[in-house]
Amino acid sequence: MKTTSLRHNKSTGKEQSESRYYISKLPAQAKVIALAIREHWGIENQLHWSLDVSLGEDRSKKSTGNAPQNFSLINKIALSLLKKDKSTMVGIKSKRLRAAWDKNYLINILNI
């Protein structure tokens, strides 16, 4: 199935059109398919944005063997633990720094 998305760039005022192709067992109903695509990319974008901004995953130099996958898994676990913490209302980056500086906070995050 083919979908076409339109994007409006507010700063330039230009519109862009992009076609994407999907293979799916979903019924050929535009609303159902659009919802599934939005949900998938919403989760993907939120996770990858968080990993990149909070944990600097895109700047990582790990590129050989199993290192990229192993560190990605560790980053996802760390991100999950930091997001789960509701004891302070600061961003993930701040929580990460606090866990590095404050042993008690780290133990609380790890739930040890």
Residue-level pLDDT at 107: 93
Residues whose CB is less than 8 angstroms from the CB of residue 1 and which lie 6 or more positions away in sequence, other chains included: 21, 22, 23, 24, 28, 33
CA-closest candidate to residue 93, choices 105, 104, 83:
83
Q: Where are the domains of the chain?
A: 2-110
- Which of the pair, 58 or 31, is modelled with greater confidence? 31
- Which of the pair, 50 or 101, is modelled with greater confidence? 101
Q: What count of residues does the chain have?
A: 112
66 HSE (CA, 13 A, CB side): 3
How many C-beta neighbours within 10 Å does residue 78 have?
Answer: 19
Task: Give this prediction's pTM.
Answer: 0.56
Counting beta carbons within 10 angstroms of the beta carbon of residue 71, is it exposed (0 to 12), middle (13 to 18) or buried (19 or more)?
middle
Name the pLDDT band for 99 (thresholds 50, 70, 90): very high
